Structure 1
Amino acid sequence: MIDQARRLVADHFPDALAVVLAGSTAAGRATATSDLDLAVLVADGSESYRETVRFEGRLAELFVHTEAALAELFAADLGARRATMQSMYATGLLLVDPHGAGARLRRRAEAELRQGPAALDPGTVESKRYGLTDQLDDLADAGDAVERLVIAGGVLRDAADLLCDHHRAWVGGGKWLPRRLLAADRELGATLLDGYRQLCETGSAEPLAAAARRVLELVGGPLSEGYRRTWTGVIQRLV
């Protein structure tokens, strides 16, 4: 697959300033159906875009940016506490780097990953504590199996978010939620994930609820009575 990625780059981006192969292929976890994730640095004045193409029968996700656009994405990913593009440049396989731009971006990405995300402000943590407490109440009361599964997904997501913030660790969505959660706290993260698995398999909510309550205790405890947020003129999400 690496050779296939090189052929795609030669075909689609002969003038690229840097190309990084990321994702499962670079990590050695690729399967027969895995796609190719390619971060491509192009010259200033070029178009920045994301595109999905099929090359030699395999899907490829192309993340194409000028350096200015990539700097904006780096900043946005830091703000979102996900560091998606930083992870691609820091951990991927550098396929093209004729002038050293890729190596320089890798060093920057590595430094930002080491630094970790900024901590959530206290008001946001308070709102997330309130939201998770409310979802745990809903989970305890849920009699419908489908509603229980939906609520459990929210409990897992919000507990993971609070736990990652507690450790100043990066968050993730989809398949990256469990990966980032385990990287942040292998013991409690695994307990949360196992509780979610048990609920999906048996319907038992208590293991997940117990793990989520442990997370709440780390960040100030459950919050219900006494919670108040002042209206600021902008509609805000609680979680």
Structure 2
Amino acid sequence: MKDIRNRMNAIEAARKIVEQHFPSCTGAVLAGSVVRGEATNTSDLDIVIFDKKLPASYRTSFNAFGWPVEAFVHNSESYKFFFESDRKRARPSLPNMVANGVIIKNEDAIIDKIKIEANQILTNGPDKWTKEEIDVKRYFLTDVLEDFIGSENRPEELFTLNKLVDLVSEFLLRTDNQWVGDSKGMYRALQKYDATLTEELIESMDTFYQNSEKKSMIDFVDRILEPYGGRYFTGFSVGKDDK
């Protein structure tokens, strides 16, 4: 694996990639860890391409100028579907890339216009969960918590804990109308929202990983559930006709 310090400058490489691989595009944005100053030796170049002549969007991966590259290629309309899809699932991947990315190509100020759309989505935030949605999430979070409490099988406990952390992170953020993320993106969303609470969650995870002690994680989840009625099992129903 090539040391990132020996690679071509990310922005320079992105420009060359756009010139050689997407010469007809009208706009391009470099996004991801290299833009945030968080690149590692395994980081790639995330490049969002806009080409009004394309019949449909696509995603492609390749290597160029010493970098692994992921290109997200859109025409002048297809990106709007992904903007909306990301907004609905509260994981604004594409809006974040466009809003926070570095402009590589910008014919007819196309990127300026799309950045305005992306920033508006991020500013507005995701749709607020309804009471019914919160109750459904409470139920499934309770279910996984109970599985974690009852399990005495170490491999199963580890997998269950991973699911529990993902669910409680989502619950914590979405009940306060915040964006969420996937994998390391979830950590970043939590850290931005409440660094102290995030540290508590991480300490609870570490306590179990190192000492097999569940109490701190159980207490943490119960504390997050408590303002919404606590654990939820009895009375939960989906799809039942009460007539």
Hey, what does 1:36 align to over in structure 2? 45
Hey, what does 1:162 align to over in structure 2? 171
Hey, what does 2:67 align to over in structure 1? 58
Of 186, 193, 197, the match for 1:184: 193
C-alpha displacement at 1:45, in angstroms? Answer: 4.0
Q: What pairs with 1:80-99 in structure 2 (closer than 5 Å)?
A: 80-99=89-108
Amino acid at match of 2:237: R
Gaps of 5+ in 2: 1-9
Hey, what does 2:31 align to over in structure 1? 22
- SS at structure 1 position matched to 2:108: coil
2:57 and 2:78 in contact (8 A); partners too: yes
Deviations 1:4-45 (A, max 9, x none): 111111111122111110000111111233110001111144
1:33 and 1:58 in contact (8 A); partners too: no
In 2, Cα distance between equivalents of 1:220 and 1:184 = 22
CA-atom RMSD in angstroms: 1.5
Deviations 1:110-131 (A, max 9, x none): 1110111001222221111011
C-alpha displacement at 1:194, in angstroms? Answer: 2.4
In 2, Cα distance between equivalents of 1:227 and 1:26 = 45
In 2, Cα distance between equivalents of 1:179 and 1:218 = 24
2:56 and 2:78 in contact (8 A); partners too: no
In 2, Cα distance between equivalents of 1:167 and 1:150 = 27
C-alpha displacement at 1:77, in angstroms? Answer: 0.5
In 2, Cα distance between equivalents of 1:198 and 1:23 = 31
Hey, what does 1:133 align to over in structure 2? 142
In 1, Cα distance between equivalents of 2:48 and 2:228 = 36
**Quick one: structure 1 residues 76 and 198, their matched pair in 2 at CA, closer, same or farther if it must change by over 3 Å?**
same
Deviations 1:46-90 (A, max 9, x none): 441001111123210000001211001101001111011000001
Amino acid at match of 2:232: L
- SS at structure 2 position matched to 1:87: helix
Of 85, 103, 113, the match for 2:122: 113
2:14 and 2:45 in contact (8 A); partners too: yes
**Quick one: structure 1 residues 220 and 44, their matched pair in 2 at CA, closer, same or farther if it must change by over 3 Å?**
farther
1:188 and 1:211 in contact (8 A); partners too: no
C-alpha displacement at 1:214, in angstroms? Answer: 1.3
- SS at structure 1 position matched to 2:160: helix
Q: Percent identity?
A: 28
Hey, what does 2:156 align to over in structure 1? 147
Of 121, 128, 132, the match for 1:123: 132
Deviations 1:178-233 (A, max 9, x none): 1112223322233223212322232222222211111111333211222222348x
Moved more, 204-213 or 141-150: 204-213
Gaps of 5+ in 1: 233-239
- SS at structure 1 position matched to 2:20: helix
In 1, Cα distance between equivalents of 2:44 and 2:118 = 23
Amino acid at match of 2:35: A
- The two structures have a TM-score, normalised by structure 1, of 0.92
In 1, Cα distance between equivalents of 2:35 and 2:87 = 23
- The two structures have a TM-score, normalised by structure 2, of 0.90
Number of residues paired by the alignment? Answer: 232
